[in-house]
């Protein structure tokens, strides 16, 4: 019986054995009519092909990535070090780090950063917890389970614009359905768009509505890959449903949970469409006191409404750096978790 390692090694070693012959004599002995140089040329071509082909196959992606992501990214960095106005793109004056200094001393920037963080937390945390709960429920044997799964994905299938429009009407100050429901509980109408926490809550609710089902499906897929014998042995040990969820499901889902946390965090950092459309006219201000102006909105406002592209580029790069920090923290956490397992 051959051990698989040996079997693998054999074909690899045979060319070596062949080249062990006298190089010059080989072509003649083989009786092939090819001239001496051709074989080495061909084998070089073959080797080159083996090495280069994979790169050639993935090259289109990197070409597109370079043209539409990398170049703009670097160009944005260049812009961020200059004073550039939208109306005078060709007149760039070197500004060094002025744009960044300007940002660090700007209340609007810190406010936007804070809003991005709080909206991120109040949208991501409930969203992922609800998704986990929903996935757990869907993991039971249910009648018409496919229907439930499709239903869960429908919010994700609506466009941001359509969803936000409907939510804006629901949250409308007078005549909105949410204030109408609240009035049965004796609550005075809330001016959702202009209140500090109300507006952040409203924007978050749109995000939660759109993304919960999506995350639930990811969790569900991961849950179904958990071996059933783990549950069986847990049951034998006397664990009830909750304990099984707590001590079998959650630990098994850890990598998936981490993945969704990272994806949601990136989404939250770049949050843009929902608050912009929720704000309606001059939505890029994010409310009269910028109470829900996220970093994305602040960048758009600076670059396209006010026309200060240099500063907008600096905001873009700051967002990029923030995401790098988030990714680094995630990597550390990931390693720590893996070690503890």
Partner 1 sequence: MRTSTRRSHRLVAFAAVAALATGLLAGCANDSDDGSSKSDGGGNGSGKGKTTLTIGTFGVFGYKQAGLYDEYMKLHPDINIKENVTTRTDVYWPKVLTRLQAGSGTDDIQAIEVGNITEAVQTQGGKFVDLGKDVDKSQWLDWKNAQATTKDGKLIGLGTDVGPMAICYRKDLFKKAGLETDRTKLAAQWKGDWAKYVDLGKEYMKKAPKGTKFVDSASSVYNAALGGGSERYYDKDGNVIWDKSDGVKKAWDVAMTVATSDMSAKLKQFDKPWDQGYANGTFASVACPAWMIGYIEQKSGDSGKGNWDVAAAPTAANWGGSFLGVPTAGKHQKEAVELAKWLTAPEQQAKVFAKQASFPSTPSAYTSLKPAADTTAYFSDAPITQIFADSAKTIPVQYFGIKDQPINTALTDVGILQVEQKGKSPSDGWNAAGKEIKDVLGQ
Residue in 52, 129, 153, 327 binding partner 1, rule: CB under 8 A: 153
* Spatial distance between the Cα atoms of 287 and 271, rounded to a whole number of angstroms: 15
Residue 226 vs 258, nearer CB to partner 1:
226
Angle at 132 between CA 197 and CA 158, to 5 degrees: 65
Instruction: List the one residue from 26, 235, 262, 305 that touches partner 1 (CB under 8 A).
Output: 305
Reported residue count of the chain is 341
∠ at Cα 74 (69, 79), nearest 5°? 120
Burial pattern 277-303, b for ≥16 Cβ within 10 A else e, equals bbbeeebbbbbeebbbbbbbbbbbbbb
One residue of 52, 221, 321, 328 binding partner 1 per CB under 8 A: 221
**Minimum distance, C-beta of residue 211 to partner 1, in the bound complex (Å):** 12
Q: Which is nearer to partner 1, 112 or 319 (CB)?
A: 112
Residue window 164-193: x/- pattern of binding to partner 1, with contact defined by CB under 8 A: -x--xx--xxxx---------------x--
CB closer to partner 1, 169 vs 324:
169
Contact 80, 308 (CB under 8 A): no
How far CA 205 is from CA of 127, 162, 199, in Å, comes to 9, 14, 10
Q: Which is nearer to partner 1, 22 or 146 (CB)?
A: 146
Nearest to 312 by CA among 102, 67, 96: 102
For position 72 contacting partner 1 by CB under 8 A, the verdict is no
Write down the least CB distance from residue 159 to partner 1, Å. Answer: 4
**272 interacts with partner 1 by CB under 8 A:** no
30 binds partner 1 (CB under 8 A): no
- Report the phi/psi class of residue 281: left, alpha or beta, with left for phi > 0 and alpha for psi in -120 to 50: beta
The one among 280, 320, 335, 338 contacting partner 1 by CB under 8 A: 280
Closer of 16 and 229 to partner 1 (Cβ) = 229
Select from 9-17, 74-82, 121-129, 224-232 the region that touches partner 1 (CB under 8 A): 224-232
Alpha-carbon separation of residue 12 from 20, 23, 65 (angstroms): 14, 19, 36
Query: Can you give the binding site for partner 1, defined by CB under 8 A?
Result: 85-90, 102, 106-108, 149, 153, 156-162, 165, 168-169, 172-175, 191, 194, 214, 217-218, 220-222, 224-225, 227-229, 280-282, 285, 288-289, 304-308, 311
């Amino acid at each position: 019986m051959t051990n698989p390692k040996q079997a693998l090694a054999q074909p690899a070693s045979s060319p070596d054995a062949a080249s062990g012959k006298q190089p010059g004599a080989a072509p003649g002995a083989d009786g092939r009519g090819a001239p001496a140089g051709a074989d080495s040329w061909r084998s070089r071509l073959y080797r080159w092909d083996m090495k280069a082909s994979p790169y050639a196959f993935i090259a289109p992606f990197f070409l597109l990535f370079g043209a539409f992501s990398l170049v703009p990214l670097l160009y944005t960095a260049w812009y961020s070090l200059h004073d550039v106005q939208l109306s005078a793109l060709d007149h760039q004056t070197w500004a060094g780090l002025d744009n960044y200094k300007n940002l660090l001393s700007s209340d609007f920037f810190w406010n936007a950063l804070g809003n991005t963080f709080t909206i991120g937390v109040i949208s991501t945390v409930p969203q992922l917890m609800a998704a986990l709960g929903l996935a757990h429920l869907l993991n039971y044997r249910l009648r018409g389970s496919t229907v439930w799964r499709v239903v869960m994905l429908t919010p994700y299938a609506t466009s941001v614009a359509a969803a936000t429009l409907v939510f804006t009407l629901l949250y409308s100050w007078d005549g909105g359905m949410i204030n109408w429901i609240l009035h049965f509980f004796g609550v005075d109408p809330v001016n959702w768009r202009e209140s500090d926490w109300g507006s952040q809550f409203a924007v978050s609710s749109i995000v939660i509505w759109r993304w919960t089902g999506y995350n639930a499906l990811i969790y569900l897929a991961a849950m179904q890959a958990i071996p059933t014998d783990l549950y069986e042995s847990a049951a034998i040990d006397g664990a009830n449903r909750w304990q099984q969820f707590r001590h079998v499901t959650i630990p098994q889902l850890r990598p998936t949970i981490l993945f969704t946390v990272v994806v949601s965090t990136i989404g939250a950092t770049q949050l843009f469409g929902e608050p912009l459309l929720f704000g309606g006219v001059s939505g890029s201000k994010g409310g009269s006191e910028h109470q829900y102006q996220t970093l994305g909105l602040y960048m758009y406002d600076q670059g396209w409404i006010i026309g200060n592209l240099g500063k907008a580029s600096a905001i873009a790069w700051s967002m990029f750096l923030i995401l790098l920090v988030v990714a680094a923290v995630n990597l550390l956490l990931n390693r720590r978790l893996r070690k503890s397992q």
